Structures are given as C-alpha cells and as structure tokens.
Structure 1
C-alpha cells in the first residue's frame, strides 16, 4: 500500500503564471497553476498504482480532515475538473450520477471508506469553483484584453473546445459581469483575510502539533489567529491584531474562572456567532455538530451554547409553521401572494417596512420581488442587528440579513447571488442579503374572502 505524504509546498513562481490584472492574489494564481500541473502528474501515478492492484493510504486528523495528503487533495481536484465541465455554474446543480463517478474514481485509487464521501465531494466542488476563477483571471483574455478563442495548452487535458466556447460566451454576459463586480467589492471589504494559503487550517494545526507534541490540543481561536499571520509568524493586520488581543483577554478570563470553561471565545472576540452549518477557525470538512459535539463533555452548558440551541429551535419551529400554513393555503386553492393586507397595483402603498422601521432583533418576514408586482417570493426570518455581517463580510448598502426558510418562487434570482447560491431555491436554510425595502415583517395570512379563479389575476394587474 503506497503512502501519500508528499509536501504541499509550492515551487518558485513560474513566469508563465504572471497575471497583470487579477482580483485574486498572485499567490493564489500560482497555486492553481501548480495544482493543474501536479494534478495531471498525480493522475498518471494513481493510474499506475491502481493497475498494480494497490491503493494510496490517506492520513486523517481527529476532526476527520485529510493531513499530509497532497496527492489525495490534488487528485480529487483533477478528477472533478475532468469529469464536470467548466460550464457548470454550481456544484449543487451537478447531478448525483456525475458526483458518484467522481467519488468512485477517487475511492478506487485511495484507501478511503464510504464515510469520507461527503468530504471528497465537497472538496471536488471547491476545486471546480477555484478552477473557474483561475481560468477567468489567467486565460480568458490575451494581453490585448481580447477573449481567447482556443483552449490554452495547459488546459487542453481538462477542457473540451465546445465547453471553452460556451464558457467564454457566459463570461461575456452582463449578468456575470455584474455578479463579478459585486463579489470583488465584497471580498475587498474582508477585514480578516486568511493567509495560510494551500496549507489550510488542518495543515496549520498539524505544524503546531508536531512542534509542541502529539497530545497538544490547538483551540480554534488560536488556529484562526495563526492562519492570519505573515510569513514571519507575525500579525501585521491591525484589525486581526485587535481580535487576537480580545482572544488573549477572554482566554485569561476563562482560566481565572470569570467565564465558563467552554465559552465560545472566537465568536465573542469577533462579535458575531458562527453561521449555521459552518465553524470558523477549523477548516474544511468539519461541521458544527462534529466540532462542538466533541467538546461538550460536562454537566452544564455555557450561556452561548444555550443561546445557540434556542436559536436553532426557533428556526426549526418557524420553518415548520410556515410550511404548514403554505400547505394549508395550497390545499384550499389559495394563492400565497396577498399577505398582511393588499399590495397595491403600483406598489406605492405596499406593506413593506423601511430598514429603520424593522424591529430590532429577529422576526418573521416575507421577502418581496424587486418588480411592480411586489409578490412574495420567500418567507423566513429577518435579523436587524447593528453592525451585522453576511458570511463574515459587510452587508451591501441598504440591505438586511435574512434566513430563507420557505421558497414560494424557488426560481426567483437572489438580489446578491454567489457562486453557490443564485436563486431562492438554492438559498433555503442559508443567510442572504436582501434589500431592506423589500422585506415585509410578519407571517403569511390567508385572504379572508378568496376570489373566484377568474378574478385572482385581476388583483395583480
């Protein structure tokens, strides 16, 4: 059985990777360039190993993350890139049969069991997204800013000509240009940029464990800070330094007994809780349940954990109530569009609430379409919290954070889409930014006197 313990260090910069106008850092472009070259080489190596009836072993840490496994991670990427076309905009929209092919190909070359399938597929989705960004920044246009017609030589083993043609067309569209501009602005506002590169949180943790001893436990707040140091191990970003100092202060309070032993120090230092399904400061492949489930070995819960459980229960209750109401309305043949009173034909007298009139805290809400009909496209919960952010980034101007729970119009485009979420249906169970003037506070109410079928459309004209 072969071993995957190859170094993840990136070789010196290749002149061919130089990109004169790239929102992504030069280091990230070099990493992706190296990933492609290395991935193709590893594919040949894995094929030979598999032909000899062998598989390559993979090491995992206590959190279930692959460590010292550069070949494994690179192979996942190259399999995903050769299996899924670059024209696929979202990994969520890739059909299950294709995902199964990715999993079967990877598992046939490495010693991994079915429990690692989610890890492999999620990693494949990330690799595809990074690949699309890399192509857009590095190869889409020539030095004269003209779109490249033929597949570049480096990409020919991975990309078909017909897929390249379709990809170029999609990058010419106005919708893509607007989305790209929005994402650039949001990324530029990131106050706490990650700086550990290809190493990842798992790699940062492994280095610390090897330096201090195998029995050492590295807290996630420490990992978060270590992943934002420069090459000399120094925090030179003022905003990161401010949070690191808060972390030190809170850690001292815990050690002195002023705070509960299992207080969420990172969340308190940043001033914002983790988003559902994500755990900051631990890296890829670790869920909230996995991480916090391993440290809750005590007779009493901390205040932050109790609050977290209450919030999760409230979201579940709201989702069940909203779904029950909508099902009831559908069974009665009613259209869920007349909510909390009538919406006027012009939209001028609609029941939308300005952002400064939305009650502070968490409330039921309806999200309206940005068109004259002002129809309700989703229901959920609105969070009017001072200094709130969305996925650790500032909210867009005149927007508010909303958790979408029920999709009334799943195909309605999100006001601020991302690579993974482009429609209301994609964003169910997630937080999104929604224009404040298009958020209606309250829960759905069926109309008192349902109109006959022929007249239902008249109220929307």
Structure 2
C-alpha cells in the first residue's frame, strides 16, 4: 500500500509520513464501510447495489453485506450505538473533520492578522479546536456538558498565562478540563490521523509509571516515618521509665536517713561540780 502511494504521489519516504498516511487511509476506509453499511445495508438504499458506482464486484458486495447481517456484528453495532448515545458533548464537524476545522481557523486568523498565507499562521491548540467543533452558529455549545468543559478550558487558559497551570505532555489543558485521560489509539481535538506518539511525542517508560511510582514512594516514606516515630516513642518511654525509677530510688534513700534533733553538745551535770 505504501509503495503504491509513493508511486502516485510526491511524498517523502519517512517513517512519520508513512504512519500518518496509512492512518489517514485506514480512517477513510473505515468511514467508507460505515457509509455502505448505513445507506445500502440498513438505510434507504438497501434494495439497491453500490457495485457499479463504487466499482465493487457482486461477490465482494455479497460477502460484505453478509458480515453486516451476521448476529455477532449486529451486537457490536448496537454496543457502539449505545456508547455513542452516552457522548454528552457531540461535535458538529463535517466530513473533513478536525483537519478542515483547523484550516478554517487558520484562514480566519490569517485574515484577522492581515497575513497573506494561512500557512504562516500558527495552528490553534487542540483545546480551541475542541471548543470550535462544538460551537453552534449562534455561539451556543452543543450541550450543557460541552459548555462546562469550555468554561473549564477558559479558566485553565487564564491560569496558564499566569503561570499557575503548566501543561505536561498528555496532561494538557483539554485533558485537564475534560477530566479523563486520552482514549487509546486516538487523540481528542485533532482528528483520527494523529496517533499519540505523533502528537505528544514518544512517552518514556518512566513517565508512563510516574504516578504509580510516586504513590509507592509516598507509601514507603509514610511507613519509614511511622517506624521512626515508633522507635522515638519507645526510646522516650524507656528514658522516662528510667528517670522515674531513679527519682523513686532517691526518694526512698532520703526517707531512710534519720537526722537527730538533739544538740551536738551535752548539757553539763551540776552534781559533778
């Protein structure tokens, strides 16, 4: 597949470009299969055939249709629909997705700044694209949940300018505002063509386990502190007990001494004089 792409398009032969292009193709292929399923298997065109229009053989179409009508696939479809129904912050993106939205935002920024080419304008951060994808034409958000996240984003942006909030890799403004980590295999707010590695960079093994390591370190420190505190308490109790015994022995010794109350000199006997 990659060789075919290089033969037909002038694309640099790098590992990053290869991954990105294959990811785009996979997304487009998945979208096309979703379209066929929605329109020609379960939709209004289920009595029609897409073979002639999309250059599909009758055998390929029958096999594809059979997989979609299989009970196991139907169960997966229902599960996916249920997950989508739980999406409380739906976007309004068209077929172009986030890539098209980014181009629109860059073009608008270029015009506002008086810059001739949108390519000279910096791409908007993904938290801005996330908000733009969920903003209606009247300025309202698509849902209450989307509005809450947008308000949190606004607050975090303000904190970021003041230096009280610092983005750290995947824990950026959008992730913090949503309150949930990134989904496996895709990055929110940028489109399906971006992988975690491409967008955030390679994640070190240390950073992937930093939370668990920190918790373990804190637990060890707590146990060590409690052990030292216990030893200090026991040592103090021993010293206090020894001091108490010493004071008690001193008191007993003092009580055993009998001091005479008589004078040191005897009174002379008058008869002897």
- TM above 0.5: yes
Q: Which has the higher strand share?
A: 1
Residue in structure 2 matching 1:113, options 9, 12, 19: 12
Paired residue total: 201
Residue 171 (structure 1) shift: 2.4
TM-score scaled by structure 2?
A: 0.62
SS at match of 2:8: coil
Residue 187 (structure 1) shift: 0.9
- Cα distance change of structure 1 residues 160 and 243 upon mapping to structure 2, 3 Å threshold: same
Distance 2:155 2:210 in 1: 32
Match of 2:83 in 1: 186
Residue in structure 2 matching 1:122, options 23, 26, 31: 23
Distance 1:277 1:178 in 2: 22
Distance 1:250 1:181 in 2: 37
Distance 1:152 1:289 in 2: 37
TM-score scaled by structure 1?
A: 0.39
Asked if 2 retains the 8 angstrom alpha-carbon contact of 1:201 and 1:283, the reply is yes
Distance 2:183 2:50 in 1: 39
- Which runs of structure 2 are paired with 1:418-437 in the superposition (5 Å)? none
- Which runs of structure 2 are paired with 1:39-54 in the superposition (5 Å)? none
Deviations 1:123-161 (A, max 9, x none): 222222212221122112576x9x64x733554x43111
Runs of 5+ consecutive residues of structure 1 not aligned to the other structure: 1-99, 295-304, 318-360, 362-461
Query: Would you say 1:237 and 2:143 are equivalent positions?
Result: yes
Match of 2:129 in 1: 223
Structure showing greater Rg = 2
Asked if 2 retains the 8 angstrom alpha-carbon contact of 1:204 and 1:223, the reply is yes
Residue 208 (structure 1) shift: 1.9
Runs of 5+ consecutive residues of structure 2 not aligned to the other structure: 111-119, 216-273
Asked if 1 retains the 8 angstrom alpha-carbon contact of 2:89 and 2:142, the reply is no
Match of 2:186 in 1: 278
Deviations 1:372-396 (A, max 9, x none): xxxxxxxxxxxxxxxxxxxxxxxxx
Residue in structure 2 matching 1:257, options 163, 169, 172: 163
Asked if 2 retains the 8 angstrom alpha-carbon contact of 1:226 and 1:233, the reply is no
Distance 2:9 2:73 in 1: 37
- Structure with the bigger RCO (C-alpha within 8 Å, sep 6+) is 2
Asked if 1 retains the 8 angstrom alpha-carbon contact of 2:102 and 2:129, the reply is yes
